[in-house]
Amino acid sequence: MHKLASKIAGWRAELLAAKIEEVSIRELEAHLLDHIDTLINSGVSPEEAFQRAAQHMGDPRMIAREFSVLQRRWVPAFRPARTVLLLLAALVVTLFLLIGAKFSHGKLTLLLAVHVLVTTLAYLTVFATGAIAACALVIGIRRGLREPERQSLGRLIFRLTLTSSIALPIGIMLGMFWAAYNLGRAWAWAPVETGAAFALFSTLLLLLVQLLRVDHQRQCVLATLGAVSLAIGWFGANAVESTAPIAWLCGAFGLAQIVTLRTRPPERC
């Protein structure tokens, strides 16, 4: 194991020489160690495991070049994520205009307008996160994601998840205030409320696994499942009167998210 530690130290030195930031090196090393552990557990010798894991990560000079490009961008370098973000921006602008028009014509009170605006913004962000995660999974299956791409996507998904994790609880609480004042109850587990509860669960779970640095592939699976659960809890809840099918369907996807956390992903992503 001493030889393995020496090889890892040499690999770190190459990354430092390539002028990659220390924070990024720590993240890269964590992925390298995870890959090495997976290979060793499958019966590969430590020296061979290091060679294969380092080869999978890529040449340090290539990694440095990719980081120099990707770290200057807020969005990932491949087209699907940019397309999703542009669509999200267009929907948010449309949402502001529609809510603003209804409020100005007296069709919505200020409390209800803010509730609808904030909640819908959170939902759209969850959908965008799931769409980007699904694209990452497809690209990962087709050709595998390079480490700089993986980290760039991880930062983007974290920002989107943090946004929805803040906006959604605020939107739900505003809705509870409005319902308590206008309907005489703050929460009744109606289909829409049940869907919102499961959406909040999925969003906070995704934020937690990112803070705990769960591997990238399982984060993407969780984000995709969360977006599907929200689609059921939002669109499905407006199409049915009974809470039961919404609760069962959203619960099934919630269970699938928990199972995903307990499942070891394949090496390639």
- Predicted local confidence at residue 268, as pLDDT: 43
Whether the CB-CB separation of 177 and 111 falls below 8 Å is answered with: yes
- Considering the domain architecture, whether residues 171 and 205 belong to the same structural domain is answered as yes
- Considering the domain architecture, whether residues 221 and 141 belong to the same structural domain is answered as yes
The residue to which tokens 């059921």 are assigned: 232
In a domain, 172, yes or no: yes
Buried/exposed code over 120-152 (b: 16+ C-beta within 10 A; e: otherwise) = bbbbbbbbbbbbbbbbbbebbeeeebbbbbbbb
Whether the CB-CB separation of 154 and 209 falls below 8 Å is answered with: no
Parent domain of 6: 2-70
Q: From CA 244, how far away is CA 75, in angstroms rounded?
A: 39
- Predicted local confidence at residue 102, as pLDDT: 92
- Considering the domain architecture, whether residues 98 and 192 belong to the same structural domain is answered as yes
- Considering the domain architecture, whether residues 225 and 93 belong to the same structural domain is answered as yes
- Predicted local confidence at residue 224, as pLDDT: 95
Q: How many domains does one find in the chain?
A: 2
Q: Which of 23, 44, 70 is the last residue of a domain?
A: 70
Whether the CB-CB separation of 150 and 269 falls below 8 Å is answered with: yes
How many Cβ atoms are within 10 Å of 81's Cβ, its own excluded?
23
Block means of pLDDT (10 residues each) for the chain, 269 residues, are 78 77 72 83 85 80 64 58 90 94 92 95 96 90 74 86 96 95 89 90 93 86 94 84 80 90 59
Q: What are phi and psi of 268, to 5 degrees?
A: -90, 135
Measured CA distances, 235 to 191, 196, 219, 231, 232 (Å): 10, 11, 24, 6, 6
How many Cβ atoms are within 10 Å of 102's Cβ, its own excluded?
14
- Considering the domain architecture, whether residues 27 and 139 belong to the same structural domain is answered as no
- Considering the domain architecture, whether residues 85 and 214 belong to the same structural domain is answered as yes
- Predicted local confidence at residue 25, as pLDDT: 76
Using DSSP, how many helices (H) and how many strands (E) does the chain show? 10, 0
- Predicted local confidence at residue 133, as pLDDT: 94
- Considering the domain architecture, whether residues 196 and 91 belong to the same structural domain is answered as yes
- Predicted local confidence at residue 269, as pLDDT: 43
Whether the CB-CB separation of 163 and 206 falls below 8 Å is answered with: no
Whether the CB-CB separation of 156 and 75 falls below 8 Å is answered with: yes
In a domain, 227, yes or no: yes
Residues 160, 162, 167, 168, Cα dihedral to 10°? 90
In a domain, 6, yes or no: yes
Measured CA distances, 213 to 100, 165, 208 (Å): 39, 17, 9
- Predicted local confidence at residue 169, as pLDDT: 96
Q: From CA 33, how far away is CA 99, in angstroms rounded?
A: 50
